[in-house]
Amino acid sequence: MSALALRLGLNRTAIVGLAGPILIVLILGMMVLPLPPLLLDLLFTFNIALAMIVLLSAMYTLRPLDFAVFPTVLLLTTLLRLSLNVASTRVVLMHGHTGPDAAGKVIEAFGQFLVGGNFAVGLVVFAILVVINFVVITKGAGRIAEVGARFTLDAMPGKQMAIDADLNAGLIGEDEARRRRLEIAEEADFYGAMDGASKFVRGDAIAGILILFINILGGLAIGIFQHDLTLAAATNNYVLLAIGDGLVAQIPALIISTAAGLVVSRVGKGEHTGQQILTQMFRQPHALIIAATVLGVLGLVPGMPHFSFLLLAGLLGFGARTLLKRAAQEAATPVPVPAPARDALEVSWDDLVPVDVLGLEVGYRLIPLVDKGQDGELLRRIKAIRKKFAQEVGFLPPAVHIRDNLELAPSAYRITLKGVAAGEGECHVGQFLAINPGRAAGALQGVVTTDPAFGLPAQWIDAAQRDYAQSLGYTVVDAGTVVATHLSTVVHAQASALLGRQEVQALLDQANKATPKLVDEVTPKLLPLSSVQRVLQNLLDEGVHIRDLRTVLETLADHAGRMQDPNELTAAVRVALGRAIVQQLYGTGGEISVIALDPELERVLQQVMGLAGPEAAGIEPDLAENLAREVAATVTQQEALGQPAVLLVPDRLRLPLARLLRRGVPGVRVLGHSEIPDARTIRVSVMVGGKR
């Protein structure tokens, strides 16, 4: 049974794969092989049905990429119509002298019934259809496709940067980023193909005009000179047949052109064209009331067709009344009555509200971003931020407690850490923040501001300018992404403050499942929990992740018997984590480029540390200021070259210099000599020679 099903599936796949080539061969064969009138009737009817299917498919498409095969369909339908024109022309010229039904009943019906058998009327109707198709619909659709293709291609770099920004911020995963990049590429390919496919429709309209005149002139010549018909008889036969042939091909062409215009002019997602027209054009009752009033006044004017105007005025008035009644019902929702509050007789400990470790306060205009009832997108992004932080840093940060704060501005927000503001900003729901990464090529119309996460110049712009801003090189993000990125930046910067005793105990409990003896040996036998916490916080303060908790615990177990100072233990752990630290900064390459101190400066600093102890406070203020200034200038040079700013110093100087430069030069990382793996080659790119 399974073998039979497999064979049937393979046969079906093979048939579907051959359908396209067979269809192309049949269409091209119609240009060469003579077709009987009955087969022409079937093919012309199929052409009309196919055009209607394409039009309705375009109407019910939610976005252009849902009908990505449309350029190919446009080519095939154009080729089918031209093949039918060639086949019908052959029949008309060969058998047109026998009567108006020589080319089949469909052409006869279009030549007799639709234009009443009057070839003059037929010519006028055909000309009007050609003008509508060629001048109005085809030209407009071609222009939209051309502009859409150009702006889509121009906006691709900005869209790619936005995807990379969301990926780096942890808002999306690799699969979602890959899907979005593929969608952008498909969108560019679609509009590019539509730009070229629109030329098929224009060429089809021109070919229809030429084929009509060829049929008329050729038919008259053949009828008069070969079949000895009079001019009147030849005109009655051949001209009507040519007009019927032209109309039966031009009407499907007009339908296909309309479908092309619908596809390329689609704006928005989630609704097809019919829904958009009904919800966007007829949702304002005041517009319907004004239109009904104007029609009613015109219907009362003497000499006007009263029935038509008053009927439409009544229908519009009824529609407006229905919309107003629906709006009133929605507004009259019952307001929940709050339960009466109990008078508190005494104050209890339950009245104390604990301080949130990590909080987010928002103004009332930002509530839709964090409201579960309104499917707030920021809630999902905060979950993604916590997950990505745990994967990168090594522990799960506390949950973010979100609340509204009426003391804030309506569009403002505040990120708090243990009740203290750690970051503030302002964002506008419904607008987009266009961030200038330093290479934007033009100006925008909007509110000038600064990116709250990275301090880059930015502007709040309307949604209509989004694609234009991306084409200029701006990184464009929505309001939810602005808050999420700022929160992610604050969480990473304050990682050590977020690592409390509870988080450390959770880490040890997790490690106890894999290495129970190691955890029992370290704490509480050798070190209290507070010392382990202090070591982990020291690592986080200097940007070292703690994912390799096993190495950290093993190092503490080796050294805690002869030293208890958290700073000394941290130095030992850093040496053990040297490979991970260097790889985090330089990747997996062999050579590392570092900044080094002048030997004389190293000697002076070591003498100072020998007298004052391992504290940066023992350095003279002038020496410390000059050293920080020179290191800052060197860091700027390294960043301009695309290299990490790493200062390599003797182990004894690492901790005091790291503390000294942490505030003055936040972009520099200080490594000790023993933290560099033996397999790495050191290259000194810049030498810092501080002045005393």
pLDDT digits 0-9 by tens, 34-83: 778 788 888 888 888 888 888 888 877 777 777 778 788 878 888 888 88
What's the pLDDT band for 116 if we cut at 50, 70, 90? low
**Predicted pLDDT of residue 691:** 47
Residue 539 belongs to some domain of the structure: yes
pLDDT at 555: 92
Query: Same structural domain for residues 534 and 677?
Result: no
Q: What is the pLDDT of residue 337?
A: 55
Domain membership flag for residue 128: yes
Average pLDDT in the 141-158 region? 70
What is the reported pLDDT for 458?
92
Q: Which of 495, 517, 535 is the last residue of a domain?
A: 495
Residue 267 has pLDDT above 80, yes or no: no
Q: 154 pLDDT exceeds 80?
A: no
Query: Which pLDDT score, from 0 to 100, does residue 672 have?
Result: 92
Mean pLDDT of 171-187: 80
Residue at 334 is within a domain? no
Closest CA relative to residue 630, chosen from 647, 654, 605: 647
Read off the CATH number of the domain in which 649 is found: 3.40.50.12790
DSSP-H helix ranges across 549-650: 549-559, 566-576, 578-586, 599-612, 621-640
What letter does residue 666 receive in the DSSP assignment? T
- Statement to judge: residues 527 and 489 lie in one domain: no
Same-domain check for residues 80 and 220: yes
Per-residue pLDDT band for 253 (boundaries 50, 70, 90) equals confident
Mean pLDDT of 388-397: 91
Least confident of 102-106, 185-189, 440-444: 102-106
169 and 99 in a common domain: yes
Tell me what pLDDT residue 496 has. 92
pLDDT of residue 346: 65
78 domain residue, yes or no: yes
The confidence band for 100, taking pLDDT boundaries of 50, 70 and 90, is low
| Domain encompassing residue 385 | 354-495
**Mean pLDDT, range 681-687, rounded to an integer:** 88
Find out whether 104 and 44 touch, Cβ atoms under 8 Å.
yes
* 660 falls within a domain: yes
Largest CA distance in the chain: 126
Regarding whether 510 and 596 lie in a shared domain, the answer is no
Q: Using the 8-state DSSP alphabet, how is residue 395 labeled?
A: S
Question: 522 pLDDT exceeds 70?
Answer: yes
Predicted pLDDT of residue 11:
58
Sign of the dihedral defined by the CA atoms of residues 320, 326, 330, 332, in that order: positive
Pair 36, 185 in one domain: yes
**What is the mean pLDDT of the segment spanning 230-258?**
77
pLDDT band per the 50, 70, 90 thresholds, residue 692: very low
Average pLDDT, the chain: 80
Q: Are both 52 and 199 inside the same structural domain?
A: yes
Q: Write down the pLDDT at residue 6.
A: 44
| pLDDT at position 539 over 90 | yes
In a domain? residue 64: yes
pLDDT of residue 181: 81
Residues 93 and 188 in one domain: yes
Give me the number of domains the chain comprises: 5
Say which range, 188-197, 262-271, 337-346, 350-359, has the weakest mean pLDDT: 337-346
Tens-digit pLDDT profile for residues 625-635 = 888 888 888 88
Looking at residue 460, which CATH number applies to its domain? 3.40.30.60
pLDDT reading at 487 higher than 90: yes
Does residue 415 fall inside a structural domain?
yes
Residues 76 and 115 in one domain: yes
Q: What is the arithmetic mean of pLDDT over 186-203?
A: 73
Residue 271: pLDDT band with limits 50, 70, 90? low
Q: Are residues 478 and 532 in the same domain?
A: no
For residues 193-219, average pLDDT: 75
Looking at residue 510, which CATH number applies to its domain? 1.10.8.540
pTM for the predicted model, two decimal places:
0.54
DSSP assigned state of 396 = P
Question: Nearest 10 degrees: CA dihedral of 193, 196, 197, 201?
Answer: 160
pLDDT exceeds 70 at position 401: yes
**Starting from the edge strand earliest in sequence, which strands make up the sheet with 591-597, in order?**
669-672, 646-649, 591-597, 681-688
**Torsions phi, psi for 150 (to 5 deg):** -65, -45
Residue 35, in any domain of the structure: yes
SS3 178: helix
Q: Which of 576, 602, 617 is where one domain is finished?
A: 576
Q: Two tokens at 112? A: 């007799």
Asked if 622 and 635 sit in the same domain, the reply is yes
Given a cut of 90, whether residue 486 has pLDDT beyond it is: yes
Of 217, 245, 277, the residue at which a domain comes to its end is: 277
Phi then psi dihedrals of residue 463, to 5 deg: -65, -30
Tokens matching residue 30: 């119609």
Helix/strand number for the chain, H first, E second? 26, 12
Domain identity same for 540 and 677:
no
